[in-house]
Amino acid sequence: MGDVADKITQEITELRVAEIAPGLAQVAIRLAGSMDSDGGPTALANAATALRAVMIELRKLAPVATEGDTVDDIARNRAERRASLRSVPASGE
């Protein structure tokens, strides 16, 4: 694979959309591969336009990342505070 195809494959993997839309993911990879080949400026421009449109659709289909957002941070901090309070002996003991 060439540089463009490698980058598109990496992005598709990171987006986790190959399972959701395998055909569209393969179209993106093949378009990227055609951009890596020497097909002339017109073919490159056409492939780039089509690849952009396909990647926009794939990004829309990507599942929302839930790890590492603000809500997760608040929940983790709360759990840590509760755990530390449980380790403190109650007054009168």
Q: What is the pLDDT of residues 25-47, one digit of tens each?
A: 999 999 999 999 888 999 999 99
In a domain, 36, yes or no: yes
In a domain, 89, yes or no: no
In a domain, 86, yes or no: no
Predicted pLDDT of residue 83: 86
Model confidence at 67, in pLDDT bands (50, 70, 90)? low
In a domain, 91, yes or no: no
In a domain, 84, yes or no: no
Measured CA angle at 15 (ends 45, 59), to 5 deg: 50
Question: Are 31 and 47 contacting, i.e. CB atoms less than 8 angstroms apart?
Answer: yes
Residue 31 is part of which domain span? 3-64
In a domain, 24, yes or no: yes
Whole-model pTM: value is 0.68
Give 67's Cβ-side CA count (13 Å radius): 0
Report how many domains make up the chain: 1
